[in-house]
Amino acid sequence: MASASFSSRRLVILLVVTAFTLMTLDARESGPFSGVRSTTLAVTAPLRSTVRWAVSPLGSAWQGIAHYDDVQDENNVLRSRVAELEGQLAQVPDNRADLQALREATKVDFAEQYGRVTGQVVSDRQTGLERIVEINRGSNDGLAVGMPVVTGNGLVGQIVSVSGGRSSIRVMSDPRLHVGVVSKRSRIVGVTSGGGDGNNLVIDLLDNAANQVTDRTRFETSGFDASPYPGGIPVGFLVLEDGQISIRPSADLDRLSFLTVLLYTPESEEVVSPGEGDPSETPVEAGG
């Protein structure tokens, strides 16, 4: 029995050696082995299939080991890309809000005869009653002190200092900013200024016209001679509360992301030093 088992092992070994030998000679198309090769290949076909089946996983594993660094690099690239896309997705709500604010700032359908430059708010600071916002546009873009600043809804303020790539804007809620206004229907004339308490404006009506106005009466810039603002810019509407009148601004002063500057310079204006701005420059301030 032991002899038979030994003979079987020798036969298997002999067949394996023969199969590998013939696989080596298989590339040759002629020679003394061509006839023997055909017969032997037919006999050993099942064995050769078994050998290939056994060796194939080893080859695949070897290929995986050999290209491991490349696979790892590809995975790292994919992870970075996924993180980037997730970050962009997280910013979609902010981008939509910015887009809406940009549309509101640029859709200006008044004072169409004047050129305009739109900039993004880069700072918004309030000290006491004073409020100054800064945009990323300046004298390099044709902006100058005194130019009015608006959104599509109405007046926001006025440029008080400029540098090459920045402009500081005094917002209407600042008590030092005065705007001449007129009611388009009744032609009642007045002057507004910042109230310092919230965004509502104080209004002084001329010619004792307080009893002629009603709640929601709308006012716009008067555009009188030497006015720092062209006529027709919406300023706000009148509000009656507890017997007191004030003007609620048309522009949303609590949400200033993008602002449009009207390239308007009055023929004459009073200028005073604002005491602020870039120390390397000598800024001036337009009067109200």
Give the pLDDT means over successive 10-residue stretches in the chain (288 positions): 55 58 53 53 55 52 60 75 62 64 81 91 87 95 95 94 96 92 88 81 79 84 86 93 88 91 72 36 39
Give the pLDDT score at 285: 41
pTM above 0.85, yes or no: no
**Residue ranges per domain, the chain?**
2-66, 91-288
Selecting from 3.90.1150.10, 1.20.1260.10, 3.30.420.40, 2.40.10.340, what CATH number does the domain 91-288 have?
2.40.10.340
- DSSP secondary structure string, 27-62? T-SSSTTHHHHHHHHHHTHHHHHHHHHHHHHHHHHH
Q: What confidence score (pLDDT) does residue 275 get?
A: 38
